[in-house]
Structure 1
């Protein structure tokens, strides 16, 4: 009998930045496909609340509170998870942030904060998980990029630069690890309605611009990211390496 190409039964998956929004939706989707999921964030109380939300849907999730921007913390957290739960087979690097400033006014502290979360954290987590996956000869790493890996917008210099770097980092890790059976890819969301984008969702002018700019004509819903994430985490993508999958309603396809 042929294996189910999208079956994640029993596979251990860690989703960073998953106490809410896109990360929580991806964790739920991986669990629905059979994975054992671990939620991560810096706030243990928020993680416990997120795990309780999943429990109401019949999903048991572990929580791991740690800061992905600290290399030693990332290493220690992955080591502890594997000691307790077994081999980490799926890593979703979702933790991210943005703060909007004109480039001429962007404080150095904000630049460094965004880079630490959006880029340093992705690398530190990929390094900690990836070296173990390479040693075992299999694993899946999904880095959450953005349409702003390719596109710029006023006020997002640090965010766009960090997400562009995530795209190139994904390709470099592919170049090193694909031969070891580890698939590293990125997922690029467009504009999705989440807690973090509420101010933009509630702005009629911005929403009107977005609906005109996006061929699908609307904001994305977080559950619409799940299919692509499950694909990149599953056996279906075993020969997919170093690519970026856009889930953006067609935004990057048109001018």
Structure 2
């Protein structure tokens, strides 16, 4: 199926799906792909944010609940039917809440795992067969440096993001044999709605900023630029890697 967008230099444009792409880091990723001429689809549970985004940009929108296999598998089929293929899959859906062991109940643990880890599994399981059939694909997971440091969220968040590392590594051989690259980007302290929920005041943000050697918070564009590179042909030999984007903070012990 042909894209609705124009072709550049006589070559078909890549088709990209960003799951969790209506807000925060995912939104920036989607906007940047669309601006570069890619046929871009976004899936999100927030219908209002999804409608706002797709009405203002040349982006296809699909509502989906990543914690549900039925919802994810149906959404993937709808995307394939609409744009023909998924060349790059970006998983950027995620939730967090601060809390130590005593404060973390089963409902919070289960909900976080359902979105952050089960949702990732469902998304890859539903999309991978289409990539395998074409012997082509890039999968980029937006993880978190919290899985390395054990800080910046709640214990359920660290565990879910650590699970994403393990899931990615478990798929390196299986997907690589089909020319599908899979990698994780692990950001820390990126300007976003999630950051605002964890550090709601300017004073708290400044305290964190002071711990970052390069002297600033991360920007969604920092993540987006790396996603675009990992989805390109120039990154065909980059496979099974975790990229820590934190301005040097982690290895300063903060």
In 1, the alpha carbon distance for the partners of 2:150 and 2:12 equals 39
Structure 2 unmatched ranges of 5 or more: 1-10
Find the residue that maps to 1:168 and give its secondary structure: helix
What corresponds to 1:28 in structure 2?
Answer: 31
1:1-255 alignment runs, 5 A limit: 10-53=13-56, 55=57, 60-153=58-151, 156-255=154-253
How far apart are the structure 1 equivalents of 2:107 and 2:77? 31
Structure 1 counterpart of 2:8: none
Task: Extract unaligned runs of 5+ from structure 1.
Answer: 1-7
Say which is worse superposed, 29-38 or 110-119, in terms of deviation. 29-38
Q: Calculate the aligned-residue CA RMSD, in Å.
A: 1.7
**Deviation digits for residues 54-112 of structure 1, max 9, x if unmatched?**
x2xxxx10000011111122112111211221011111010000112221121100100
For residues 81 and 39 of structure 1, the distance between their equivalents in structure 2, rounded to whole angstroms, comes to 9
Provide runs of 4+ in structure 1 moved above 6 Å: none
SS at match of 1:213: coil
Distance 1:199 1:95 in 2: 16
Q: With the length of structure 2 as denominator, give the TM-score of the two structures.
A: 0.90
Cα pair 1:102 1:155 within 8 Å, conserved: no
Q: Distance in 1 between matches of 2:145 and 2:250?
A: 7
Tell me the CA shift for residue 200 of structure 1: 4.5
- Residue 52 of structure 1: how far off its partner (Å): 3.0
Aligned equivalent of 1:4: none
Q: What is the TM-score when the length of structure 1 is the normalising length? A: 0.90
Q: Secondary structure at the match of 1:246?
A: strand
